[in-house]
Amino acid sequence: MMRFLLHTLLLLTCLAVEYGFIHGLAVPWSLIPLCLAIGVFFVFTLHVDLGLFWFVGVGFVSDLQSMHPVGETLIGALVGGLLIYVVQQHISHSSLYSVMILGGGVSFVWLMSSQVLRLLFGSSATFEFGMILEEVLFAMLLSAVLLLIIPRVQKRVSRTIRLQP
Amino acid sequence: MRSKSVEWGVRFAMIAVAALVLAVLARTNIVRGASGRFLSWIESPFTIVSDAVGNQGAVVFSSRQELIAELQEREEQVLQLAKIAARWEQAEQERDQALLFLGYKSGSSEIMVPAKIRVRSSIRDSDSVLIDKGAVDGIKTQQAVITGDGALYGLVGEVFAQTARVVRLTDPTVVLGGRLLDSEQTLGVMEGGFGPVVRMAYVAQDTDVHLNDVIVTSGVDPFVPAGIVIGLVNAIEEDPNAPFLTLYVEPLAQVQKTRLVGVIQSPL
């Protein structure tokens, strides 16, 4: 329970950084999918429940922030569920390539679904495929960077700081 | 093996149902209003940092030629605007004098509600901002929102009790009438949903329009007064077989640095 509370706070902070800071930057920096990449990282480090929680959270806040919500919560949950299934059933260990491919794949499926829904519902007149590809590239790189950096940082921190049991 | 796939199927179904409930909740006005206030509270410090950083990052991806071309374009626009401003000032002086001759009192009847931008949400489908004035302050949907320098920022899209969401002109839902600064009649219909520019459709083929001409609101929309500056003509699409021209207008309202806007509640 405590873990989910902490992750709710972390998710809110990361969403605030993504929506408040990253989306305000110039293109292509504004396309960095920070929270999505963190969700992919959690799924790959076998914290599947947390990964799904992040995916649903990101989708829910996207729906709240959007003037034309197209059910990104549902897209997030389904994409997250699919990623968990693929990681648990078909991937034996989390290599850098698999993280990059699945990180990019998740981002691609999510963005394509939401864009198609927006076109169907008439809330968008253009299909920005170039931007989708740029965001997918960022998702691939960021997922890989997180998988490379966070375990190392965790190891170093746990060596330096020893918490009392 | 079969029981495992059934187990996964049940898991997927449960996740989908929970997400569906959340998706429906995300569409309710009460959740959208309350969450907007809460999220704006945590996002606003990051928005301020983002404003400070501004468009610095764009320079990294631009070539020297692109930057020089943009600089030249901006210089041309400044020159054009200076000429228009001079003409405008002269016309305003003449109007004031004419009104004095006719015995009218100066002053206007507009009611403008100043509002602070709490948070900006630039996401794929729309650019919108949350302002700190809502239904209790008399804000209604479709009212015009302008910046301090008088450019049209957008229209009120959603109204909550104490906040409202303003959609920028580039949003696909925005449709309003526009005209050239010098003309009196509606030139065409402005539509969002075309990236950072606004498309102006149904402009007659014989219209005398040039690049960098100023487009203002025509006053045909019930809550949008005439004469508010929208932007500059960025591109003209001409098809000899079609009866109309299509213009692409670059909105002049500054998005990044705007912290205060005015919601116009009555015609100017």
Q: What is the count of residue pairs from A and B with beta carbons less than 8 Å apart? A: 157
Structure tokens at A72: 């990104």
**Residue that has been written with the tokens 């009790």 in this structure:** B161
Segment B70-114, tens digit of pLDDT: 888 888 888 888 888 888 887 877 777 676 656 544 445 567 888
Inter-chain contact B124–A78, Cβ cutoff 8 Å?
A: no
Inter-chain contact B125–A60, Cβ cutoff 8 Å?
A: no
- Choose among B242, B241, B261, B263: nearest CA to B253: B261
Nearest CA in chain B to A127: B194
Segment A82-130, tens digit of pLDDT: 898 888 888 877 788 889 999 999 999 999 998 888 888 877 767 778 8
Partners of residue B34 on adjacent β-strands: none
Rounded to 5 degrees, φ, ψ at B202 are: 60, 40
CA–CA gap between residue B82 and residue B94 (Å, rounded):
18
Inter-chain contact A65–B39, Cβ cutoff 8 Å?
A: yes
Element (H, E) at A67: none
Q: The domain spanning residue B190 has which CATH number?
A: 2.40.10.350
Helix (H, G, I), strand (E, B) or coil at A55: helix
Q: Which chain A residues are Cβ-neighbours of B19 within 8 angstroms?
A: 56, 59, 73-74, 76-78
**Rg, C-alpha atoms of chain A:** 16
- The pLDDT mean for chain B works out to 81
Round to the nearest angstrom and report the end-to-end CA distance of chain A.
Answer: 19
| Same domain assignment for residues B192 and B223 | yes
Inter-chain contact B58–A26, Cβ cutoff 8 Å?
A: yes
Number of helical H runs and strand E runs in chain B: 3, 12
Q: Please tell me the least confidently modeled range out of A34-48, B108-122, B174-188.
A: B108-122
pLDDT over threshold 80, residue B60: no
**Does residue B60 fall inside a structural domain?**
no
Structure tokens at B209: 């329009």
Number of structural domains, chain B? 3
Quick one: pLDDT at residue B268? Answer: 46
**Does residue B58 fall inside a structural domain?**
no
How do the domains of chain A map onto residue ranges?
2-160
Nearest CA in chain B to A17: B46
| Same domain assignment for residues B98 and B16 | no
Query: In terms of residue numbers, what domain contains B121?
Result: 1-53+109-169+254-268
Of B122, B125, B191, the CB nearest to A68: B125
Q: Which chain A residues are Cβ-neighbours of B14 within 8 angstroms?
A: none
**Does residue B48 fall inside a structural domain?**
yes
Q: What is the number of other CB atoms lying within 10 angstroms of the CB of residue B72?
A: 10
* CB crowding B199-238: b at 16 or more within 10 Å, else e: bbeebeeeeebeeebbbbbbbebebbbbebbbbbbbebee
Quick one: pLDDT at residue B58? Answer: 66
